[in-house]
Amino acid sequence: MKVVIVGASGNLGTALLRRLGAEAGVEVVGVSRRVPDRSAGPYDLAAEWHRLDIGESGADARLAAVFGGADAVVHLGWALQPNHDEGAMARTNVAGTRAVLEAVAVAGVPQVVVASSVGAYSFGPKSRRVDERWPTGGIQTSHYGRHKAINEREMDAFEAAHPSVVVTRMRPGLVFQPDAAREIARLFAGPLVPVPLLGLLRHLPVLPLPTSLVSQAVHADDVADAFWRAIERRAGGAFNLAAEPVLGPEQVAEALGVPRTVPLRRQVLRAVVDVSWRLRVQATDPGWIDIATSVPLMSTDRARSELDWVPAVSSTEALRAIVEAFASNRGVGASPSLHR
């Protein structure tokens, strides 16, 4: 079996390289905007690498050549920065996804597995779980939500035009792994915030968070396992992916070892994030607060029943591990996609 991973050098990509590397008879091909050091793990698990920017003009033709003979293409390519330039991100997130889908059709690949997200969902409840039929209109005050929603419509159109291709949409919550701590910190905190400083979260006397800041998380290795199960079974459709428990303020504080929480008005947190982002003090735009406080809680029943998927790592364990990795400045090295 030949599997091509687009965006193979990032957080999810490295986890999927490890997962596929454990399977006999699977040939893995990596595609990345920057080719990593192939002598270092897990990058050495790919049989070959292709340097390719999916947002460039003509990327679909180049991708089609790479996809030739593949049994499945996994699309993980995504740009979270520079989030002060949405057009630049859209070239990767929107035009790049369109190029991948077009190349899949041209190359005759029988399955494409796309990393969507809980961020694709429209405003929804925090008091009950929703399944994969919940509307995917995104949170429109977030560039991430807007782009994910556009991609969902692209996949709808692609499925209608190419019914012979199995389209699999994975919708995970927050994805953590210690080896990606440095990458995640740079994407969300920015270059001005030292990574070890984030580890000091463990030593706060109180944790001020809005009560509506309720999220779901999952370890990258568990997400990778779900991807493999969908490929192995050629399972189509959408799958929500999240570990237990749901992460509210109390669960986050417990995972970090912070003694207690205090309520913080959502509008206050959003304003602080917005001003500091506009001043370029930190790299998280306020749309992420809107996603965290507005998207619904997901039911993972379909992944558990159809893929026999059970997360090996709890959400609190995954969160605790990445905070500890922040403290030690851990990472597999700056992902090539981060060098600009």
HSE-up of residue 90 (Cα within 13 Å, Cβ side): 11
Residue 44 DSSP symbol: G
pLDDT, tens digit, 9 for 90 and up, residues 118-158: 999 999 999 999 999 999 999 999 999 999 999 999 999 99
- Residues 238, 301: contact at Cβ < 8 Å? no
More confident residue, 322 or 168: 168
| d(C-alpha 4, C-alpha 337), whole Å | 17
Look up the pTM and report it. 0.93
181-188 and 315-327 are packed helices; what angle lies between their axes, rounded to 10 degrees? 80
If you average pLDDT over residues 166-184, what whole number do you get? 93
Decide yes or no: CATH 1.10.10.10 for domain 2-175+217-242+296-312.
no
pLDDT at 82 over 90: yes
Residue 289, helix vs strand vs coil: helix
pLDDT of residue 37: 87
Question: Rounded to the nearest 5 degrees, what angle is found at the Cα of 261, between the Cα atoms of 255 and 263?
Answer: 135
Whether 338 has a pLDDT exceeding 50, the answer reads no
Q: Given this model, what pLDDT does residue 331 score?
A: 61
Question: Looking at residues 254-263, what average pLDDT do you find?
Answer: 90
Domain definitions of the chain by residue range: 2-175+217-242+296-312
State residue 337's pLDDT score.
Answer: 42
Which of the 8 DSSP states describes residue 170? E
pLDDT at 285 over 60: yes
What pLDDT is attached to residue 151?
98
Tabulate helix, strand, coil % of the chain (nearest 5): 45, 15, 40
* Pairwise CA distance, residues 36 & 209, whole Å: 38
